Amino acid sequence: MKKIYFMLLLSLLFVLAACGAEETNPESDEEQQEQTEADAEGETEEQEGQSQERVISHEMGETPITGTPENIVVLEFSYVDALAALDISPVGIADDNDSERIIEPISEKIDDYTSVGTRKQPSLEVISSLQPDLIIADLQRHKEIYDQLNDIAPTIVLASLSADYQGILDGFEVIAEAVGKEEKGAEVMQAHDEKMEELRAQVPEDEERTVLPAVVASSGFFAHDDNSYTGSLLASIGLDNAIKSGDERYNKINLEQVVEFNPDVMFHMVAGDETVVDEWEENDLYQGISAVESDQVYEVNRNMWSRFRGLISSEQILEDAIEHLYGE
């Protein structure tokens, strides 16, 4: 019964979305045309640093941005990574009021910034006091305050929390366009692709071990499956995830399920001093898991492995993983 309702609601939503899309389509075509025209004319203008309007389409619609944003406030770590990759330093970051959460290769690249509070509930007052000219927010976390953010500065909303690796790459391109650094963005992307090739080459063709990255906390074991950011990232260089059939990412699973998925390698992103794994270790079932038997359980940095979700951190994660798997 419940399913039928969901289906009904879903179809209704699709119809609504389709209507909406139809209405906006001609407009956006026009805008796109304008934009390409502007691009054609503006090639030299850009070099002179003159302002031109770009229309950025994102998760919550389209936002016109003029010129090159200088004061950028970001409400997720992904966007810090993206900006750092583009050599831009944000003025405000929702860093959960803990600058330690910003992983080293990135904190080295950015200047001092102002914390705007938690990612869950960033302080609008602080954001507005920074007088930004661009805000980058997350769909799931900040949808409700989109209007208020837009009152402060042009705001683009991307999926970071719910994105997989490909989604993060797409988000990066949108950010590069929004900050008016498409060329630099393309360069960074190319360098990233090359780096990824290089990393992929270090994984033997016949690699058959399955991997399972997971956040282990006192509240449970949160598996990052094939669809998750970390899972899809590892899969992209040929490290297959132990959980393929999952319909949800970051699923909290119990010991029996871990045993059933039986990963050959586990990456534990440890949160807190005591975790469920401490309890499990005394259990024969746990000792029988392939990764535990062959001593291939690795502790990794949670900030890097699950909070950042960006180009720089992606490379770091893979280097980390390869180091663990094929290092000395």
Partner 1 sequence: MKKLQKEKSIMLLLCTIVVLVTIIGIGVGAVFIHPKDILLSLAGVDIGPNGFIIQQYRLPRIIIALLAGSSLAISGAILQGIIRNPLASPDVIGITKGAGLAAAIVIILFPHAFILARPIAAFVGASIVAILLYLFAYKTGLRPTTLALVGIALGAICHAGIQFLLVKFPVDVNAALIWLTGSLWGKGWEDVWLLLPLVLILIPLTVALALKLDILNLGDDVAEGLGEPVGITRMVLLFLAVALAGSSVAIVGSLGFIGLIAPHMARQLVGNKHRLLLPTSALVGMLIVLVADGLGRGVMPPVEIPAGIFTAVIGAPYFLFLLKRLQTKS
List residues binding partner 1 (CB under 8 A).
6, 9, 13, 17, 59, 96-97, 115-118, 120-126, 128-129, 139-141, 143-148, 151, 161-162, 222, 248-252
Q: What number of other Cβ atoms are within 10 A of residue 209's Cβ?
A: 15
Amino acid at 286: Y
Asked if 52 and 66 touch (Cβ cutoff 8 Å), the reply is yes
Q: List, in sequence order, the alpha helices (H) in the chain.
A: 2-47, 77-85, 104-107, 124-129, 139-142, 146-152, 165-178, 182-201, 229-236, 255-261, 276-280, 284-287, 290-293, 302, 311-326
Q: Report which of 147, 131, 157, 136 is spatially closest to residue 93, judged by C-alpha positions.
A: 136
Backbone angles phi, psi at 73, to 5 degrees: -110, 130
Q: How far is CA 113 from CA 88, 90, 97, in A?
A: 12, 7, 11
Whole-number Å distance between alpha carbons of 266 and 154 = 42
CA distances from 131 to 91, 126, 127, 139 (A): 9, 9, 7, 22
* Phi, psi at 282, each rounded to 5°: -85, 0
Distance CA 112, CA 314 (A): 23
Compute the C-alpha angle 291/233/302, nearest 5°: 65
Bridge pairing between strands 220-223 and 155-158: unpaired
